[in-house]
């Protein structure tokens, strides 16, 4: 293989190859401020491999034997001067996380299909004898969540003694880090009603199961829907059921606790029921937001705090957030 360079005193090209073995070959292009890892397409279309506005006079001409195959590499730039570019394959940790993610969804789907039939058979009796709390359906959901996560991450629960009696209505609130938060919270076995986007109810099996659990639909951008959701929550509490809120409104993208909305605390204050703050630690690392196809190994901690009760929604909101924030920062 031959290499020709012209017109660039500040750039150098390093070429590594083994003469006696047919192994991967890497070409690295470096400048004082940029370093690039060269992909195989560079050998066929060199001008795409480097910024022409920086290296206008730099030309690469490659020739290679046909029996040599180059590995698929990524083109990467590094903005710090003096940083050397090194060609590394995809991280084994990330690769295993994606494999675990595929396995996780396969397991949870298989279990959901099986248990959904049980929910379907039980639903007429649930509507007849327990239309608000729906304990039987929540027992099935707990079994589904436990079977789904058992092979992929551990759950450690602290503060079970702080949970109100099963038949006592309450408002539960928690920080929100990951799609796995729902799985983790269902393992508690409490019959609280989640609030979910209306689009989720259209998903086969999962959406239908959420409907049978009594999950409350919400259109986030619709103020009328938000008002109806609050009214339904208040009605469920009056009938003896509990509701669950993520006061941040959405998942945290960086793991930091966001501002709390007061809706959940207003419901608790008006109905004179306790607010039960819960801190979730670890779900964001196992399945980071925006990377729902990845499941990393790890342990999730569930810390149940002492209930808060009062008539001042804002004070209850601030106290609950302070509890969760201190726990996350410990």
The more confidently predicted of residues 41 and 128 is 128
β-bridge mates for residue 308, sequence order:
275
The more confidently predicted of residues 145 and 63 is 145
Domain positions in the chain: 92-329
pLDDT of 40-86, one tens digit each?
444 444 444 444 444 444 344 334 444 434 333 333 333 333 333 33
Average pLDDT over residues 211-239: 90
Q: Which CATH class, in words, describes the domain spanning 92-329?
A: alpha beta
Q: Report pLDDT for 32.
A: 42
pLDDT of 273-296, one tens digit each?
999 999 999 999 999 988 999 999
pLDDT of 235-266, one tens digit each?
999 999 999 999 998 888 888 899 999 999 99
Residue 20 has pLDDT above 50, yes or no: no
Q: Report pLDDT for 91.
A: 66
């Amino acid at each position: 293989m031959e290499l020709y360079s012209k017109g660039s005193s500040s750039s150098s090209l390093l070429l590594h190859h083994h003469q006696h073995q047919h192994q991967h070959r890497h070409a690295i292009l470096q400048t004082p401020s940029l370093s690039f890892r060269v992909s195989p397409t560079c050998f066929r279309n060199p001008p795409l491999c480097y910024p022409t506005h920086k290296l206008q006079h730099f030309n690469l001409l490659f020739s290679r034997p046909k029996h040599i195959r180059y590995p698929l590499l990524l083109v990467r730039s590094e903005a710090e001067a003096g940083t050397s570019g090194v060609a590394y394959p995809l991280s084994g940790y990330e690769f295993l996380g994606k494999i675990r993610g595929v396995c996780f969804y396969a397991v949870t789907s298989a279990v959901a299909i099986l248990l959904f039939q049980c929910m379907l058979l039980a639903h007429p009796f649930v509507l007849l004898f327990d239309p608000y709390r729906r304990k039987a359906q929540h027992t099935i959901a707990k079994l589904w969540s436990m079977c789904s996560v058992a092979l992929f991450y551990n759950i450690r629960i602290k503060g079970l003694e702080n949970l109100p009696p099963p038949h006592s209505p309450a408002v539960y609130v928690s920080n929100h880090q990951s799609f796995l938060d729902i799985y983790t919270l269902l393992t508690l076995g409490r019959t609280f009603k989640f609030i979910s986007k209306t689009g989720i109810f259209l998903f086969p099996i999962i959406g239908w199961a959420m409907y049978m659990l009594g999950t409350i639909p919400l259109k986030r951008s619709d103020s009328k829907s938000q008002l109806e959701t609050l009214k339904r929550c208040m009605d469920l509490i009056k009938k003896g059921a509990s509701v669950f809120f993520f006061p941040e409104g959405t998942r945290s993208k960086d793991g930091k606790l966001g501002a709390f909305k007061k809706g959940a605390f207003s419901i608790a204050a008006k109905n004179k029921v306790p607010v039960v703050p819960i801190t979730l630690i670890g779900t964001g690392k196992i399945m980071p937001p925006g990377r729902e196809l990845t499941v990393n190994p790890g342990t999730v901690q569930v810390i149940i705090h002492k209930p808060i009760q009062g008539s001042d929604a804002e004070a209850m909101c601030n106290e609950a957030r302070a509890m969760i924030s201190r726990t996350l920062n410990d």
